[in-house]
Every structure is written in C-alpha cells, then in structure tokens.
A and B are shown apart, each in its own frame.
Chain A
Amino acid sequence: MKTKLFSLCFVIILILSVSLTGCGSSNNNNNAETTEKPAANATTEPAAGDATAEPAAGGADISGKITFLTNRTDMIGKEYDEYVKRFNEKYPNIQVEFEASQTDYNQQAKVRMASGELPDVMFIPTIPNSDLPKYFASLDDLGLTDQITFKDFRSHEGQLYGITTGNSTSGIVYNKKAFADAGITEVPKTWDEFLAACEKLKAKGIVPLASNFKDKWPLGSWAYDTPRLIEGKADFPNEKLNTETPFTMDNGYGKSFSLLRELNEKGYLEKDINSTNWEQSKKDIASGKFAMYYLGNWVINQVIGAGAPADNVGFFPLPYDNSGTPTATLSPDFFYAVSKDSKSLDAAKAFVKWMIEESGYEDFAGFISPIKGKESTLAQLKEFQSTGVELVEGTVDDPKVTEISNKAQLDLPAVVQEFVLAKDPQSVIDKWNKSWAKAKKDLGY
C-alpha cells in the first residue's frame, strides 16, 4: 500500500514536472522578448488624417468608416475612446473602429498583407521600402511632409508612405535627489564634468551609473547611439560596408567603447558588472542607491513605476566629449500607414493626420513628437530638450550591412562587453575586424 502510494506520487510528480518544464520554457521566451525590446513594446496606434481637406476648413464633408489595427490593446476602450470623441468633434461623419492586434503585430500584419485584407490604418511591419507602394497609399498630400521627422525612413522613390508615431532618444536618466545629495548642482555638460560628477557620487557611496552590463542589451546605447554621435554622421553604421576594418580605437566605435571602459576602470559602474540585476536596478535608481542609466527615454516611466516620484527623475544628453554641444540620437517607433485599397481613403488619412497633430498620443506613450521641433509636455523630455540638444535622426539599416553582420555573427553589445572586460582591447577590435573582413569577402560585397 505504502509503495503504491509512493509510486503514485512519483508518477504525478513526473507528469507535473514535464508539464511545468513545458510552460517554463515558453514563459522564458516571452520574458526575454518583453525585457529586451521595451521600445518596440511601448508602441502605438494609428491615425488617419484627411489628406485633402484643410484643417481649418473642418471635416464635415469627409465621411466613412475606418478600421485601425493597433498593438496598444491597453488603450482600447480607454484613451482611444477619448481620442475618437475629440476626433469626431472635428470630423463628425467618420466612424473609427479599433482592432486589437495579437501579440506579434509584425507577423499578424504580414499575414494580412499576404491575404490582401488590410485594415484602413495600420503600422508598417518589417518589409523593405521597395514593397511599400504595393500595399500603402502615399501620404504626401497630408501636407505634413516637411514638418515631420524621419520623412525618408519609410519612403520609396520620393513618395512618403509612413509617418512615425513618435520618436525616442537616449540619454542619461538620473535620480535628482542622488545628484543633490552628492552635491552636484547642475547636470554635466562635458565628459570631464561627467567624470567629476561620477566621482562625487562614488564618494557618497552611490553607484554612479547602472550599466546592467551582464544583461548585454542595456549596452545598446554605447553600441549603436554614441558611435554615430561621435562621428557626427547619421549614416556611420552603414559605412561599415566600405571598409575591411570597421572598428578602430579612434573611430566612433573605439571611442564610445572606451568611454564605458574608462567608467568601469574608475569604478563608476556596479561593483561587479558581471553580476547585475535589471529588475533590481530600477528599484535602486528609484531609491537613489544607483544614480544614472544610459538608456532610451522609455525607461523613465519604468523608473517612476518602480517607485520614484515623477519630479525626482531627470533626463539629459550624455556629454560624450568635452565640446559642450550636446547631441543625441532620435529613433522612430512604429510608422502609421494607410492601406492603398482602403474604401475610405480620405477618412483614413484624416485620422492619421489628426493622430499626429492633435491626439497627444506621443505624450501618453512617452515619445518625442513626430513633428519637428515640437516641445514635449513631459517634464523629463522638456528638461532634455532645454539643454539645447541637437537630435540626430538615424537612417535605415543597409540590408547588406545586416547581412554581413549576421554572417560574421557580430553582435555589437557583445563586442562592447568583450572590449570592456579584455586586458587588451585592441585584440578584441582586431578579432572582430577579421571576422568582418572575412564575412564581407565571403558574401562578395
């Protein structure tokens, strides 16, 4: 009897363990995706604007029913309802419906494109720009072309097909109280001032910069943003295509990686950078145990969510050199597009235009406005813009560069890790230059 019970338990335990293992791995995948791509998740919704009507003329003459496929399922029935109410004050005859996307927007959008049943308003999935005219209507007649950021990002042969829903930048997110406690009265404007601020924080027992080095993805700013700012060329990452030695100690990559290496050598990062904890770091920034992040502006809301009062969180551009003229990168989120075959093309365009100009969605989502030079109403972004920072737009990745990178198994944040940990950084650079040159040759570019 006893043995029977024991073996019964045993079997149940085995079955449970098998099913648990199954759940576990899929959970893990989801987690990995959500944590590593915060920017993409914090995305958006569409809008259509009226292409032909002048905004001042009112929109009573445009009518129709449009559907908008959105990934912001959390906003349906809440913020979206309020948007539609305001939208209908201006365009009373347009009926807007929201369709919630499945978890993977990109994939779902591609399936709908293949079946030819596109919603009127949607976001552009990852397709080459040359395919845009096959699915989407030109948005040049919205009259926004010269005001918007990233007008060339989703264009083909001079026609505009997609407008960014909002933009992100990266910079130093910091705990104001930690700065004040350490006696830092104004935000550093040069690299030397930045180091001096770190020294003051360190002397106070505060970890100056939370790198989250171990998790690799938080090094993205050092790997993708700073190099191109140092070079001052938006197209710098794509210039790798023309060289056998994309990494040198004195180009953007070497200089940017060296900045992080210097911070580590001086002890301005976590005590053990190989043992960091992303979730805990948010709480530590909020409580002032850690002082700074160098990440995208999406992290501001997460720090506030981790318990920091909103007015205690500040944001300024990283002063990567001693010139004193701040620059920062600007990166687009999803792009609105209008289906070419929409039955209510004008209504859809009117909605997109309204979403960009009047909805205030960018403030809700924590983005910088898609309209050039429009000041944000969010305190942190306002502080960021008030430094006089010049926002440098990025360009589309050259597919050939991506292809070579994949062939060479080049993962820039991983290179940053090796560079910082290596005794001799030059050897890391040589190693990856060699892989790059070989992959480039193998592919015949």
Chain B
Amino acid sequence: MFGTLSYNKQKNIIIVSFLLIPLILLGTFTYYPAIKLIYYSFTNWDGYSPEKPWVGLANYREVFSTPDIFLVFKHNFAYFVMGIIQNIVAIYFAVVLNSKLRGKNAFRIMLFLPYIMNGVAVAFMFGYVFDTTNGSLNMLLNSIGLSGLSETSWLGTEGLVNYSLASIGFWRFMGYNMVIYIASLQAIPRDIYEAAKIDGAGTFQTLWRITLPNMKAVIQLNLFLTVTGALEVFDLPFVLTKGGPAGASQTYVMRVVDTAFAYNNYGLASAMSIILLFFVVFVLLIQQLVLNRGGDK
C-alpha cells in the first residue's frame, strides 16, 4: 500500500512513526512535569488542596531573601573536590586498563560494579562501614595500630561528614567515569602513538601531549556529570545522616524535598528547584568558558 506513495512521503511516515513513541514518552515524563514545576513555582500550593493560588514572584523573592538557603551549597564543595579526584583516578585506571594487561576485562568489571548497585543499598552498606563504635572502618584502623584514629566519628564530625559521604560517591562513580574514558581512549588512532614513539616520545609525554588532548571533549563531559552530580547530591546524606549533625551535611536538594513534603510548601520548593536549574546552567557556562580558553577549533 505504501508503493503508491512517493519516496519522500514514505521517508516522512517512517521518521514520524519511529519518533512518535519516544517523543510522547519524553513529553509526558520530562517536559510536562517540568512545565508544571514552573507553574507551581508561581503559586503557593500546599500539595493537596484543589486551589493553587497564584502568587507571582513571591516564592523567588522569598528564596533570595533567605540567604541561609544558599549556605548549604558550601556542603557541596566536598563532593566537588572528591569529583575532581575521582576523574583523575578514573583517567589513570582507564589508561592502565587500556594497555595490554592480563585480565583487564575482569578489572574493568570489578571497578564498574559499584556503579550498578542501588544507591540506597550502597548508603546502608556504608552506614555499617562508617559506624563509630561497631563500624568496619574504625575496626580496621584499630587493628592496624591506628587506635587514635579509630575513635573517629566519620559521619558525626562537622568538617568531616561531607568528605566521608563524598568518598562513597567516589567509590560508586569512579568506575562509571572510567568506562567513558576507556571508550574515548579506544577512539584515539593508534598511528599517532606509533608516530610519537618513532619520534622518541616517552610515556609521560605521550600521555600529556596525545592522550589527554584527544580526550578533552570526554573530560568535559565527565566534569559536567561531576559538577551536576555534586550540586544535586541527595540519596547518600538522606539515608545516612538525614542532614546531620545539626544540618552539617544537608544539601540543597534535601532542603527542597523537606520544603515540599515535610512543610507542605510545593510552591516554594518548585521555585527552589527552578533556581537550582539555573544555578547548574550558570556553573556549567563558567566551566565551558574556563576549559575552552585555549580554543580548540
């Protein structure tokens, strides 16, 4: 029956029918809720009543007139620091596991496995690791003779808690970053390395002058994931510390969730989410600017 249609029409029908379902899914589960979120941010809806009174920009004004809402971002700094270290280590493992190494697939899978574990399960597991009195970490420190350190309250010390939490993120996401780096390493043509070798370049020079520049786009991608991840941390502190001690590990997203679900203020919470969205875009713009300074056109 399609035989009578012109080639162009057939092409269009196929394109439309293939795209229809993904577009409907995308629209239903991404764009429709996002538009609703923007709408709610202009109301002071309490989350259950049928009326959603329009309040204009009042929610945004309230967020910006409460500076301590933004103070929680300093807790995210730890995740950012750990994220940078995580990327460096991931590049290291990617380079090592991309060379001729016996059993490299086994190592790759081992390093990648933490990523496929459920976030909440990971958090519970580390709850036992970081426990002060019965935790395995303190027990280990004690058994290797560092008994002074073995009394540390990893999740209960104000300056330490965010780094403890971020190190779990490191454990979990390093393998994921590594897999992306390996993929990009495999895309670098072999002949560049051969040419460099003939010209007498050493291992470090090859890494610095060939490997890293060729991976620049992927490093940017991973930094993008790291930065957004750091700004949007939620599950680890939510399960492990509930934001404690006394709010020292509270993150912005936890505040948003509390505002919506504990204090029944969906309007304000929506406004906070939108502000986070712009904040992420802003930070990424700065990152792009800094990384593209050299120009790579």
The residues of A with any CB-CB pair to B shorter than 8 Å are 2, 6, 9, 13-14, 16-17, 20-21, 23-25, 27-28, 214-216, 270-275, 277, 280, 405-407, 409, 411, 414, 417-418, 421-422
Interface centre among B116, B239, B265 (most CB of A within 10 A): B116
Q: B258: which A residues are within 8 A, CB to CB?
A: 409, 411
Q: A411: which B residues are within 8 A, CB to CB?
A: 258, 262
Q: A21: which B residues are within 8 A, CB to CB?
A: 118-119
B127 is an interface residue with CB less than 8 A from chain A:
yes
A16 to B242: give the CA distance in the assembly, Å: 28
**The 7 nearest A-B residue pairs measured at CB:** A274-B156, A17-B116, A24-B118, A272-B132, A275-B132, A406-B263, A274-B245
Which B residue's beta carbon lies closest to that of A409? B263
Task: Report if A274-B153 is in contact (Cβ < 8 Å); known contacts: A24-B120, A28-B120, A215-B242.
Answer: yes
Interface centre among B132, B135, B235, B265 (most CB of A within 10 A): B132
Which of A28, A216, A272 makes the CB contact (< 8 A) with B239? A28
Minimum CB–CB distance from A162 to chain B (whole Å) comes to 21
Task: Report if A272-B246 is in contact (Cβ < 8 Å); known contacts: A21-B118, A214-B241, A409-B259.
Answer: no
Contact A275 B153 (CB under 8 A): yes
Q: A405: which B residues are within 8 A, CB to CB?
A: 263
Q: B115: which A residues are within 8 A, CB to CB?
A: 17
Q: A277: which B residues are within 8 A, CB to CB?
A: 127, 131, 134
Q: B246: which A residues are within 8 A, CB to CB?
A: 417-418, 421-422
B163 is an interface residue with CB less than 8 A from chain A:
no
A214 to B105: give the CA distance in the assembly, Å: 41
Number of A-B contacts (CB under 8 A): 85
Contact B244 A216 (CB under 8 A): yes
A27 to B119: give the CA distance in the assembly, Å: 11
B264 is an interface residue with CB less than 8 A from chain A:
yes
Would you give 14 A-B contacts (Cβ < 8 Å), ordered by A? A17-B117, A214-B155, A214-B242, A214-B245, A215-B242, A216-B242, A270-B133, A272-B133, A274-B156, A277-B127, A277-B134, A406-B263, A409-B263, A417-B246
B130 is an interface residue with CB less than 8 A from chain A:
yes
Which of A17, A28, A417 makes the CB contact (< 8 A) with B244? A417
Q: Which of B210-246 contact A (CB under 8 A)?
A: 235, 239, 241-242, 244-246
A421 to B134: give the CA distance in the assembly, Å: 22
Task: Report if A418-B247 is in contact (Cβ < 8 Å); known contacts: A20-B118, A275-B133, A407-B265.
Answer: yes
A45 to B275: give the CA distance in the assembly, Å: 46
Which B residue's beta carbon lies closest to that of A415? B246
B121 is an interface residue with CB less than 8 A from chain A:
yes
A409 to B247: give the CA distance in the assembly, Å: 13
Minimum CB–CB distance from B116 to chain A (whole Å) comes to 4
Interface centre among A13, A275, A414 (most CB of B within 10 A): A275
Which A residue's beta carbon lies closest to that of B239? A28
Q: Which of B121-149 contact A (CB under 8 A)?
A: 121, 127, 130-135
Contact B120 A272 (CB under 8 A): no
Contact A24 B244 (CB under 8 A): no
Contact A275 B131 (CB under 8 A): yes
Task: Report if A27-B120 is in contact (Cβ < 8 Å); known contacts: A272-B132, A275-B156.
Answer: yes
Which B residue's beta carbon lies closest to that of A19? B118
Contact B155 A274 (CB under 8 A): yes
A422 to B158: give the CA distance in the assembly, Å: 11
Q: B242: which A residues are within 8 A, CB to CB?
A: 214-216
Q: B135: which A residues are within 8 A, CB to CB?
A: 275
Q: B241: which A residues are within 8 A, CB to CB?
A: 214, 274
Minimum CB–CB distance from B71 to chain A (whole Å) comes to 13
A302 to B242: give the CA distance in the assembly, Å: 23
A275 to B112: give the CA distance in the assembly, Å: 29
Beyond A17-B116, A275-B130, A406-B264, 6 additional pairs, beta carbon < 8 A? A9-B109, A20-B117, A24-B118, A274-B244, A275-B155, A409-B259
